[in-house]
Structure 1
Amino acid sequence: MKLILSVESVRFPLTGIGRYTYELASRLQHAEEISELRLFAGRKFLPELVSPSDQSDAVHGLKRFVQKNALAVEVYRRLMPILRKQALRGHEDFIYHSTNFYLPPFAGPRVATFHDLSPFTWAHCHTPQIARYLQRELTQSLKRADALITVSHCMRQELADYFNWPLDRIHAVPLASSPQFHPRSPDALREALARHGLQPGGYSLFVGTIEPRKNIVSLLDAYSRLPLALRQRWPLILTGYHGWRSEAIHDRIAQAQQQGWAHYLGFVASADLPLLFAGARLFTFPSHYEGFGLPVLEAMSSGVPVVCSNSSSLPEVAGPAALMCAPDDVEGLTALLQQGLEDEAWRATAVQQGLLHAGGFSWERCAQATVEVYKSVRER
């Protein structure tokens, strides 16, 4: 098979979608079933797969400007399909796979990965112009696609129900944690964590975009209810890129910082992130809505106990290893956080269960299952 893979999301800041795209592309390059692989981004083919940068660049700055301007978003929405269609002309014997929902006009077979339906179900967590753009483009992709991939079984059913799409043309292909996420000794962590003012096992951790959907204010409220001695011994460390409507969240984080039991690290370099995970006493992720919830799996692979919400796909990703409660249950979350920090018997069991459960996911399986989707499209 010949394949065109969209790798546009492999860029700063590297989100879960960018990580999925990078890991998938890395493995598809070696897939025996694929005779030719071409990587596509923007409106051009790339000579090779590049590693994502930890630094903002001019392209990122332009993207941020466009996203804030409704007219610029509309111009982009109308112009880019034309430019991409021209760039893809003559490649109709390839399968085109969009790893982030958007399918341009293309005469050959088309596959799109849908990570979540937040532009529809959590539209208020996007800027109005971006929500409208995403809703239009997601709808167009549904019309163009020959098959869809979702990153969890939960999302597969939600997508089928929401759009009345045939379930047999939606394929759940779970993600995985990357090899860099694994347990590490305190000595291996000490130097890297010291750069952030941290010590191995000396903090709780949240990793994710700073936005309302991640339920960070409820996390801070729950953490503030813990005994002061616990908060001082294991402060809450947060890291992630600034998202839409994050001002109030940052104000709340600043209050907790002033009280001495929380700290926001900003966007941490990808090389440091696995070390930050492995050094945590506890990972907490009370998100309202996730298509997958990759940080939960990364924490488990790092040998760190997890407390998360029981919403959307998270029970599927966390399995039996995590403590879970409803995302709006602040009192219940406080109790689970305290158990996660203090209950040594549960912690030991959670680490072993987490490692075992996370071992059931791999990028190799993800890539092979994706190839099977391509095969089904060619056969159809």
Structure 2
Amino acid sequence: MDVGWHRVKVVLSVEPVRFPLTGIGRYAYELAKGLQASTAVSELKLFSGTRFVPGLPEPQSASGGGHGLKRLVQTSGLAMEAYRLLMPLLRKQALKGYGEFIYHGPNFFLPPFPGRKVATFHDLSPFKWSHCFDPAKVRYLQKEFEKTLRTADALITDSEFTRKELAEFSGWPLDRIQAVPLAAGPEFRPREEAELRTFLNRYGLEYQGYSLFVGTIEPRKNIDVLLTAYERLPKAVRERWPLILSGYRGWRSDDIHARIKEAERQGWAKYLGFLPADELPLLYSGARLFAFPSMYEGFGLPVLEAMQSGVPVVSSDRASLPEVVGTAALLVDAEDSTALSEAIHVGIEDASERDRMSASGARQAAGFNWRRCSSETISAYETLAR
């Protein structure tokens, strides 16, 4: 698809690209690189804040003054509303005269723009799981969501699940929404113990000596049920293979952190906080098992990162997760802590099942890559350009 008959001009918002890269920032960064390399894109302009930027931000570059403003805005409902009303005016001015381009917002926000517009929706969590977010932020996101649905020409989602959910939720026709799956970076790969020794020693971990959860510590990730399931394991098993958790401290997570602290006190869990981007792939490839019982995901990148790292996966059967893991993982009902506990036990101790899951996971993960993501995104642009 990279040599499409209709070459397109694209304005891509790279505003989410801030280091260390998290999910949406990684998506925008990899998509920008894919579009830069594509012969189907005749011109690519990168846009951030209220201006065009000369190139893609890189890890060593400062994130700029805008990030401090964004932090301030996110802590005040009044500032958030002022930002919501003022920014479109500044962006509209900057984007004047680019009507022959297609504008792509990689995080569902769309400014006033004279040409055709595409927005990516990664999930509907601010609407389906609004109780897990700051209410001021939810109001802001809901207003932007409605504005995007009124003004977009096409929508992209990360999964078929979100594509159907978005159509049902918004009333948009399915044929104007395209599912384009994400990918895990090449840094997520199997590693031998020798390569990980220094890293593991730093955190007091053993090679294949722990189960792992990676994700924001928040209610929709279902960590309460994961802790209950882990507690059901025989004492010797959970002490031999403790549960390691890594991720940002999310909204309404105090009770979850209290439970993690108690499990740490008992010697079968450890919370590492949010790890730097260069350490996370090492944490994955040193794990014996990856457990991800999330209640709701628009894609579920952590399970893909784990499979690509050669680690057996136990996942919930909710939302987009079955689509991403295929038959490679052990799928369980997200609310059944007994079934989750049994699956984790198998994933830790059953050698033949572990081998099957690792091999099957690697094959499943190979079907997802950033080249495919940019190529299928360009297909969406080309449909609009006709």
Q: Per the shorter chain, which TM-score range?
A: over 0.9
Which structure 2 residue ranges, 5 or more long, are not aligned? 1-7
Per-residue deviation at 1:74?
A: 0.9
Q: How does the TM-score come out when normalised to structure 1?
A: 0.96
Give the match for residue 338 of structure 1.
345
Among 172, 179, 191, which residue is 1:172 paired with? Answer: 179
Work out the CA distance in 2 between the residues paired with 1:338 and 1:60: 43
Q: How does 1:35-50 map to 2 (within 5 A)?
A: 35-50=42-57
Q: How does 1:1-380 map to 2 (within 5 A)?
A: 1-12=8-19, 14-52=21-59, 59-379=66-386
CA contact under 8 A between 1:12 and 1:60: conserved in structure 2?
A: no
Q: How many corresponding residue pairs?
A: 379
1:328 aligned counterpart, secondary structure = coil
Work out the CA distance in 2 between the residues paired with 1:98 and 1:91: 15
- The CA RMSD over aligned residues, in Å, is 1.6
CA contact under 8 A between 2:20 and 2:276: conserved in structure 1?
A: no
2:131 aligned counterpart, secondary structure = helix
Per-residue deviation at 1:15?
A: 2.2
- Per the alignment, do residues 156 and 333 of structure 1 end up closer, same or farther by CA in structure 2, a change over 3 Å counting? same
Consecutive aligned runs of 4 or more in structure 1 exceeding 6 Å deviation? 53-58
CA displacement 1:202-227 (0-9 Å, x = unmatched) = 11111111111111111111111111
Work out the CA distance in 1 between the residues paired with 2:359 and 2:267: 32
Per-residue deviation at 1:68?
A: 2.4
Q: Which amino acid aligns with 1:198?
A: L
CA contact under 8 A between 1:13 and 1:56: conserved in structure 2?
A: no
Identical aligned residues as a percent: 59
CA displacement 1:336-380 (0-9 Å, x = unmatched) = 11111111110000000000011111110111000010000111x
Per-residue deviation at 1:85?
A: 1.0
Which structure 1 residue ranges, 5 or more long, are not aligned? none
- Per the alignment, do residues 336 and 29 of structure 1 end up closer, same or farther by CA in structure 2, a change over 3 Å counting? same
CA contact under 8 A between 1:54 and 1:270: conserved in structure 2?
A: no
1:39 aligned counterpart, secondary structure = strand
Give the match for residue 4 of structure 2.
none
Give the match for residue 3 of structure 2.
none
1:29 aligned counterpart, secondary structure = helix
CA contact under 8 A between 1:202 and 1:234: conserved in structure 2?
A: yes
- Per the alignment, do residues 253 and 349 of structure 1 end up closer, same or farther by CA in structure 2, a change over 3 Å counting? same
Work out the CA distance in 1 between the residues paired with 2:63 and 2:278: 16
CA displacement 1:237-283 (0-9 Å, x = unmatched) = 11111221122222221111111111111111111111111110000
CA contact under 8 A between 1:10 and 1:52: conserved in structure 2?
A: no
1:25 aligned counterpart, secondary structure = helix
